[in-house]
Amino acid sequence: MQPKSTTHDCKIAQLGHPILKTRAQEVESILSPDCQTLIKEMMATVEQAGGVGIAAPQIYQSLRIFIMCSKPNARYPNAPLMAPTAIINPEITGFSAELEKDWEGCLSVPSMRGFVPRHREITVRYTDQLGTLKTAVYEGFIARIFQHELDHLNGLTFVDRLDSNQDLVSESYWYQHYATKL
């Protein structure tokens, strides 16, 4: 399946929309103009929304593409800086046994934060925007972003990863009680 053109002021799919529960399709023609346009639009959308990542299903495209673009911002003040990166047809090929719980938010789950367990370190394989196969090892916050966005491609949100409903709080409560301790 090929990407359909969107506009970068499009709305982001919200929790409950069926596209967020569906496994996204492999991207076949990465260098096609439609795919390259979709990547640019995803980068613009995540920038406008103040996120550190976004997956194609979040903008109503059931394709295995996400953007990672970690940087400190109001939502993640301690986020490390990384250049916006298109991750296409990703897979995790290895991971640490060690799990680490930390707070996550999501552009598709506004006003909520979850204390989510994730692998501390992961080894990954993906194709970049130029069609080059890449392998990488990510740890900490960057590994968390990768796992969070990959979940979107597999029809999951961070809510599906919570150990308990007690690990879900409103974002306003999170800012009052947890953000000040970062």
Q: Residues annotated as binding site?
A: 106, 148, 152
Active site residue 139: no
User: Annotated binding site for Fe cation: which residue ranges?
Assistant: 106, 148, 152
Unique residue bearing structure tokens 């673009």: 69
Sequence-ordered alpha helix ranges (H) in the chain? 33-49, 140-153, 171-177
Detail the DSSP E strand segments found in the chain: 53-55, 65-68, 85-95, 99-104, 112-119, 121-127, 133-139, 168-170
Query: What backbone phi and psi angles, to 5 degrees, belong to 88?
Result: -120, 135
Catalytic residue (choose from 28, 139, 149, 171): 149
Q: Both tokens of residue 14?
A: 């919200």
Residues with active-site annotation: 149
